[in-house]
């Protein structure tokens, strides 16, 4: 079993542990993030209406061979996005799946079934380009977050493809509150309020700066802003998610894609009831080791504070029980040994 540091106290309201300097606990056992949320005025959430979304889609429909590129990992959120673009909004999507070598068979099976049943064009991109970078994070002991680097590259590849095929819309499966920027290193703006990601972003930024010396990764972007800025020079695509505009609960669209696309939950994933690549287990093991929490703890804690998730449920879903042999086998696939 993998060790979650036992000494850390967990907030009694959310699921964040004590992790100074970013997260501290008061004498009542409430974390600094919850305390700040209590004292600051609730930010009125910008309400996005489906009519705004359909108007935008209408502007781009039928102008190119494909109306949108859908980034589809085979998880519930992105598979539902693909379904919606085809069936609810009647667009002609190009489905796109990115595999850095660690996508699971179950996830890929979901993609293939969806593509067949929806009869959409499909691009599958597999590359082990990131493997040495991942290995370097593990062996150097860096606290950089593998998923943040991966999402930057994934985004860059998606935007390249959109440019290549002149596709005006890039559709992701992000749920409300998620975006391309989620936890990725930023040039400065926009992430200031996210204390929970401060150390993770900083470690990732430092790692990326050292990576420049490696000829293989000399041109790797240093931040998500850089990815978006580079892409805009070539092609102006709009990146968005239908989930931002819809109030459908995940249970509802899981039911829908199960029925319509024969979608299935994968056998093995972290957190529970998610679909993530198998390397995610190693990434989250490292995140727990360095910080005592993962970006899933941050996301779940936000849901708890918004009363959209119970603390008990979140704690259960976030239990990390990945056997050490499995982590070692993932390290082996990166060509390295799992550090103690
Ligand atoms: Zn808290």
What percentage of the chain carries pLDDT values higher than 90?
79
Task: Calculate how far, in angstroms, residue 133's C-alpha sits from the geometric centre of ligand 1.
Answer: 33
Task: Calculate how far, in angstroms, residue 15's C-alpha sits from the geometric centre of ligand 1.
Answer: 6
Mean pLDDT value across residues 216-223: 94
pLDDT digits 0-9 by tens, 290-332: 999 999 999 899 989 989 889 999 999 999 989 999 999 999 9
Read off the pLDDT band of 44 (50, 70, 90): low
* Domain 48-187+195-340 CATH class label: alpha beta
Task: Calculate how far, in angstroms, residue 31's C-alpha sits from the geometric centre of ligand 1.
Answer: 4
Task: Calculate how far, in angstroms, residue 32's C-alpha sits from the geometric centre of ligand 1.
Answer: 7
Statement: residue 276 has pLDDT above 90:
no
Task: Calculate how far, in angstroms, residue 18's C-alpha sits from the geometric centre of ligand 1.
Answer: 9
Task: Calculate how far, in angstroms, residue 93's C-alpha sits from the geometric centre of ligand 1.
Answer: 40
- Looking at residue 270, its pLDDT comes to 84
Task: Calculate how far, in angstroms, residue 29's C-alpha sits from the geometric centre of ligand 1.
Answer: 8
State the Cα–Cα distance between residues 25 and 188, nearest whole angstrom: 26
Mean pLDDT value across residues 171-178: 86
Cα distances (Å, whole numbers) of residue 254 to 127, 144, 162, 249, 325? 29, 32, 28, 9, 32
More confident residue, 284 or 180: 284
Cα distances (Å, whole numbers) of residue 114 to 73, 110, 118, 246, 311? 11, 6, 6, 21, 33
Task: Calculate how far, in angstroms, residue 334's C-alpha sits from the geometric centre of ligand 1.
Answer: 35
The domain limits of the chain are 48-187+195-340
Task: Calculate how far, in angstroms, residue 308's C-alpha sits from the geometric centre of ligand 1.
Answer: 15
Mean pLDDT value across residues 14-38: 94
Read off the pLDDT band of 1 (50, 70, 90): very low
């Amino acid at each position: 079993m993998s060790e979650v540091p036992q000494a850390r106290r967990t907030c009694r309201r959310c699921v964040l542990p004590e992790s100074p300097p970013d997260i501290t606990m008061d004498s009542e056992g409430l974390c600094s993030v919850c305390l700040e949320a209590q004292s600051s005025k609730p930010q009125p959430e910008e309400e996005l209406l489906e009519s705004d979304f359909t108007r935008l889609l209408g502007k781009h429909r039928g102008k190119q061979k494909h109306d949108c590129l859908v980034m589809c990992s085979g998880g519930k959120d992105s598979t539902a996005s693909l379904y919606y673009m085809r069936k609810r909004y009647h667009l002609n999507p190009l489905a796109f799946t990115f595999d850095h070598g660690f996508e699971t068979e179950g996830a890929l099976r979901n993609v293939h079934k969806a593509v067949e049943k929806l009869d959409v064009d499909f691009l599958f991109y597999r590359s082990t380009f990131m493997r040495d970078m991942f290995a370097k994070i593990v062996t150097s002991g860096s606290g950089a977050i593998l998923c943040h680097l991966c999402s930057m590259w994934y985004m860059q590849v998606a935007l390249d493809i959109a440019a290549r095929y002149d596709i005006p819309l890039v559709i992701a499966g992000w749920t409300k509150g998620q975006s391309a920027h989620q936890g990725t290193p930023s040039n400065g703006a926009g992430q200031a309020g996210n204390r929970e990601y401060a150390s993770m972003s900083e470690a990732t930024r430092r790692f990326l700066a050292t990576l420049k010396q490696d000829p293989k990764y000399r041109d790797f972007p240093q931040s998500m802003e850089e990815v978006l800025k580079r892409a805009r020079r070539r092609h102006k695509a709009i990146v968005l998610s239908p989930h931002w505009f819809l109030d459908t609960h995940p249970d509802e669209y899981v039911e829908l894609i199960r029925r319509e696309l024969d979608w299935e939950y994968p056998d093995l994933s972290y957190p529970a009831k998610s679909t993530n690549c198998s390397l995610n287990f190693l990434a989250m093991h490292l995140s727990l080791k360095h910080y005592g929490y993962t970006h899933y703890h941050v996301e779940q804690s936000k849901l708890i504070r918004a009363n959209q998730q119970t603390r008990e449920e979140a704690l259960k879903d976030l239990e990390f029980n990945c056997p050490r042999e499995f982590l070692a086998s993932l390290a082996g696939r990166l060509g390295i040994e799992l550090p103690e």
